[in-house]
Structure 1
Amino acid sequence: MTEILVQDVVADGISGDRRVVEHPAWPELKNAVEQIRPWQSKDGSIDFDAEGAPTRAVAEATLDRVITAIEALAPLLAHNAAYHRALVVDLRKWSGGAFGVPDFLDSLLAFQPAQQRADGLQHLVVFPMYTQNGNPDRNLEAVVLRMVWPDWLAELERTRYDNPLFLGIAFEDFTAGYDTNSAVLFPETIAVREAPERFTWGGIFCDREAARFRRVTEASVEILGVELPDGIREMIGDQDRCQQAFVLWDMVHDRTHSHGDLPFDPFMIKQRQPFWMYGLEELRCDLTAFKEAVKLEADGFGQGRDVQYAVLFDRMFRFPVTGERVRNYDGLGGQLLFAYLHKHDVLRWTDNTLKIDWDRAPQVTNQLCGEIEKLYRDGIDRPKLVHWLAAYDLVSTYLAPHPGSRWAKGADALDLSLPPRKLVDEVLPDEFPLSMFYEALSKKLKNVIASTKGITAASAERVAA
């Protein structure tokens, strides 16, 4: 990918071809934010009576450093002018309100990156926020990112996969909340007084996704003795090519949440459901991206071929053995994909070697997608609990439930006088435990998975060198 540079700007003596993170105000901003973060409570406020808290004067002086740095960097990013002005106002309001629970709704509304999706465009983003799969507290964070929006992707979005809110993004630099497993920038994570009527953008860091995919896949292939066709091996060795695959996968996946035969709330964020329902929704979106990737490959898009490899390997190798086992719905989706392909003889684990029938993999993967789509379509005519039980039957056809599960024993084992949301309490934390295959693989990949925390394209290349 072409290196992303600030275009046609000269400010404070910095030439127009310099990256934002090379401006001396960036480390100043980053250091000031890092000083503030440990002072904050879970809700983002600062309790000046807490042990280790600063005086209010020190907090105000440190926040002034944040504001000064933002104002120094703002001329480099004229497309963010309205956002940066609103951001400074929100920061000053937070200080003037004795650093209570922060409210950055006005600056959030002013930040509209989806209106300017240009490949390489940089953004300086500062918000009190939690980072999904990272830091659960609403700490102040600062991120410099760049858009990943090549012409071929823009054309596909315009003609085939309309997704006007989606942002493909990559890290330039970040504060500690992103030195984690988080690979998203979502507006719903930001501290505001009230949720906006609608969110207008959502970003996924394809560089982090690609880098950890490469590291985990390389290790898995070696451990399992997988024989790779040359095209797949070349892809895994190419960070830029993997990023191109992930930004396409992410765009189609994100779009699928609102397309197809769906419940009213496809993201299911307003409902309490058993975690296998979330797992099936995420897998449905991934397998839809796989299905579309098969079509794209037939239409001459090499990225379509790469998306297929990425979905298969990331889902089968990384997802099942990443994170805690408690209600791990992404892990469940990966287990289900592996078991389905294994039971349909696309995968064979013999002589301590994993063999893959590359010719049949697309057809059988699309077959699983079809089974999940049928579940959704039939669910439109079912009561909620009946739909949950049907989904359980689908998963348990291929994955063995925990022997102590009440759900596995069927409706007769459940107290059907309770509302469905109460029956969720009967779901075990690890309703579908790892198979012996994955238990062994998890131990072998443990250190590799841990090494991907905070990974970026640049850090991955440094380790490889």
Structure 2
Amino acid sequence: MADILSSRTAPAHGISGEDVIGHPVWTELKEAVETVRPWQLKDGSIDFEAEDAPSRTDAAQAVDRVAAAVDRLTALLPHDAAYHHALAADLRRWADEGFGVPDFLDSLLAFRPAADRTDGRRHVVVFPMYTQNGNPDRNLEAVALRVMWPEWIAELERTRYDNPQFVPIVFEDFTPGYDTDSAVLFPETVAVRKPPASWSWGAIFCDREAARFRVVTEAAVDILGLDLPPEAARLVSDQALAQQTYMLWDMIHDRTHSHGDLPFDPFMIKQRAPFWMYGLEELRCDLTSFRAAVELQAEGHPMGLGVQYAILFDRLFRFPVTGARVRNYDGLGGQLLFSYLHKHDAVRWTDNTLHIDWERAPQVTNQLCEEIETLYRDGIDRPKLVHWFAAYDLVASYLSPHPGSVWAKGPDALDLSLPPRKLVDDVLADEFPLSMFYEALSRKLRDTIASTKGITGSGAGFKFEIADTQQA
């Protein structure tokens, strides 16, 4: 890969990360939030009858310290003044009403980071929320973060991949709910009295995604003896480049959930479906991003090739062996991609060494994308259960179902008098177990994957821009 990035200290738009996380008010805010967190129940409320519960006075004082710190932050982050005002009001109302289930809808609606995605802009976010792939409880959390929005990504979003709600971010600091595997900040996770009709933003921590990718890929490449092209090796070794790459991948992936021939709600919100349906949807979005990256590369865009490598390596190495095997739909998508590439001679595991045909792999990956798109297009004319079986057949063509699977025996083995959502109960927790290849890889990568919990990127305070491609 040519030198496509140049780095320099970023103009901080009046505030730097060090100004926030190095300021006494941030320390005060974190300490106050971390005082409140252990008192909260799963739903975010505080039970004053519980053992080790605080007094109402102590709880009120701690929450008031949080609100006071938020008020003081406005001087550092004036662009968030409306949000800070609403947040302090929500905090104090929660205390005044007796610390029941929190309702932070007013402050959530006031926080609109997608409205001005200025590159380098800092935010401090405080909400009672669970963290996806992290803490399942609605604890009070505080996160200091920075927006990534260089001109090259802004131009692509404006001209090709419109996604006005997407906000790529990096960590500055956080409370314990983000000392986990969570790499997203989504409004859906916040405790509110009722969800609004629609959400206006969704944020991805590109630094955590990139850092996790680099650590796991480096270990997998060493274990499998894979010979990387120079451009791929550079991506794995360069955190700044990897963050930029993930920003582009995530932007295209996110918008794909609402683009294409969709036979169902693209996010499958409040639907009950077999987990392979979610796996195919996530894989479809990744493979659509891959195809877009192939097109960008063909046009000479310097980020196109890196996105292809990132998708292949994360899907082939990290996703299949990360997390529990219970309805692991991202793991299933990675297994499917590997098997598809292997059965179409784009990947070979020979003499205990992994070989990838770098010319054939993009063609075969795009071919799988086309198969999934055909499934979706045909699904528009199918009843839900028929579509589920067609999707099962696609997956089972490449992955062996569990020998005890009822679904693998076909429709005659199921009680079709039941509604489809009830038939989901017959899906095994691990309907498509790991192959022997992935069982072995899982054991060897287990400690590496565990080590990435809470990981963040490096290079805070820097801005990375694509250099002129003719000079690169």
Alpha-carbon distance between aligned partners in 2 of 1:159 and 1:5, rounded to the nearest angstrom: 26
Task: Please list, as runs of the form range in 1=range in 2, the aligned pairs for 1:222-241 lying within 5 A after superposition.
Answer: 222-241=222-241
Q: What residue in structure 2 maps to residue 66 of structure 1? A: 66
Number of equivalenced pairs: 454
Do the aligned residues in 1 keep the contact of 2:17 with 2:146 (CA within 8 Å)? no
Once the two structures are TM-superposed, the CA of residue 17 in structure 1 deviates from its matched residue by 8.7
Say which SS state the counterpart of residue 28 (structure 1) adopts: helix
CA distance in 2, matches of 1:459, 1:244: 12
Which residue of the partner structure matches residue 206 of structure 1?
206
Counterpart mapping for 1:63-462 below 5 A: 63-458=63-458
CA distance in 1, matches of 2:419, 2:68: 54
1-structure distance, mates of 2:175, 2:264: 37
1:86 is paired with a residue whose SS is helix
Structure 1 241/306 Cα, relative in aligned 2: closer, same or farther at 3 Å?
same
Q: Contact (CA 8 Å) 1:148, 1:170: kept in 2 or not?
A: yes
**How far apart are the structure 2 equivalents of 1:345 and 1:360?**
8
Q: Report if the CA contact (8 A) 1:5-1:17 is conserved.
A: no
Counterpart amino acid of residue 19 in structure 2: R
* Residue equivalent to 1:8: 14
TM-score (norm 2): 0.94
Could you say which structure has the greater relative contact order, defined with CA pairs below 8 angstroms and 6 or more residues apart?
A: 2
Say whether 1:47 aligns with 2:47. Answer: yes
**Residues 184 and 414 (structure 1 numbering): CA distance in 2 closer, same or farther, change over 3 Å?**
same
For residue 421 of structure 1, what is the amino acid of its counterpart?
R
TM superposition shift of 1:263: 2.2
- Cα separation, partners in 2 of 1:52 and 1:3, compared to 1, 3 Å: farther
Q: 1:146 to 1:211 in 2, by over 3 A?
A: same
2-side partners of 1:206 and 1:17: how far apart? 16
- Cα drift, residue 341 of structure 1: 0.2
Query: Deviation at 1:108?
Result: 0.6
Give me the whole-angstrom Cα distance separating, in 2, the residues matched to 1:339 and 1:121: 42
1:103 to 1:5, Cα distance in 2 relative to 1, 3 A: farther
Give the partner amino acid of 1:195: P
- Measure the CA separation in 2 of the matches of 1:200 and 1:4: 27
Distance 1:459 1:34, change over 3 A: farther
The answer for the alignment partner of 2:468 in structure 1 is: none
SS of the aligned residue for 1:398 comes to coil
Partner Cα separation in structure 2 for residue 143 and residue 300 of structure 1: 37
Contact 1:129 1:189 (C-alpha < 8 Å) held by counterparts: yes
- In structure 2, give the amino acid aligned to 1:363: Q
Greater CA drift, 70-79 or 278-287: 70-79
1:286-331 deviations in whole A, cap 9, x for unaligned?
Answer: 0000000000111121211100000000001000000000000000
**CA distance in 2: counterparts of 1:459 and 1:4, whole angstroms:** 11
SS of the aligned residue for 1:153 comes to helix
Shift in alpha-carbon separation, 1:75–1:137, aligned structure 2, 3 A: same
5+ unaligned residues in a row in structure 1: which ranges? 10-15, 461-465
Deviation (angstroms), 1:458: 3.4
SS at structure 2 position matched to 1:404: coil
C-alpha distance 4-188 of structure 1, shift in aligned 2 (>3 A)? farther
Q: Is the 8 A contact 1:5 1:18 kept in 2?
A: no
Secondary structure at the aligned position of 2:173 is classed as strand
Instruction: Show the counterpart of 1:463.
Output: none
Q: Which amino acid aligns with 1:327?
A: R
Q: After TM superposition, give the deviation of residue 6 of structure 1 in Å.
A: 4.5
Asked if 2 retains the 8 angstrom alpha-carbon contact of 1:4 and 1:122, the reply is no
Q: Secondary structure at the match of 1:171?
A: strand
4+ runs of 1 displaced by more than 6 Å?
none
Cα distance change of structure 1 residues 17 and 51 upon mapping to structure 2, 3 Å threshold:
closer
Q: Matched residue of 1:146: which SS?
A: strand
The answer to whether the 8 Å contact 1:7/1:17 transfers is no
What SS class does the counterpart of residue 180 from structure 1 fall into? coil
Counterpart CA distance in 1 for 2:179 and 2:247 is: 21
> Conserved in 2, the CA contact under 8 Å of 1:4 and 1:121?
no
Relative to structure 1, the CA distance from residue 17 to residue 455 in structure 2 (aligned partners, 3 Å threshold; closer, same or farther) is closer
* C-alpha displacement of 1:7: 2.9
Aligned with 2:75: secondary structure? helix
The CA deviation string for residues 265-300 of structure 1, in whole angstroms up to 9 with x for no partner, is: 111122110000000000000000000000011112
CA distance in 1, matches of 2:207, 2:347: 29
| CA–CA separation in structure 2 for the residues paired with 1:27 and 1:252 | 36
Q: Please state how far the C-alpha of 1:74 moved relative to its aligned partner.
A: 1.4
Amino acid at match of 1:427: V
Structure 2 residue identity aligned to 1:233: A
Q: Distance in 1 between matches of 2:264 and 2:275?
A: 18
| 8 Å contact from structure 1 (residues 74, 84) kept in 2 | yes
Mapped partners of 1:327, 1:459: distance in 2 = 36
Aligned residue type for 1:354: L
> Could you list the per-position Cα deviations for residues 101-130 of structure 1 after superposition, in whole angstroms to 9, with x for gaps in the alignment?
110000011111110101100001000000
Distance 1:228 1:415, change over 3 A: same
Q: CA RMSD in A?
A: 1.4
SS at match of 1:145: strand
SS of the equivalent of 2:38 reads helix
Distance 2:458 2:242 in 1: 14
Provide, for residues 1-25 of structure 1, a one-character-per-residue CA deviation record: whole Å limited to 9, x for no partner.
555665336xxxxxx8953111111
Looking at structure 1, the residues matched to 192 and 255 of structure 2 have their Cα atoms a distance apart, in angstroms, of 26
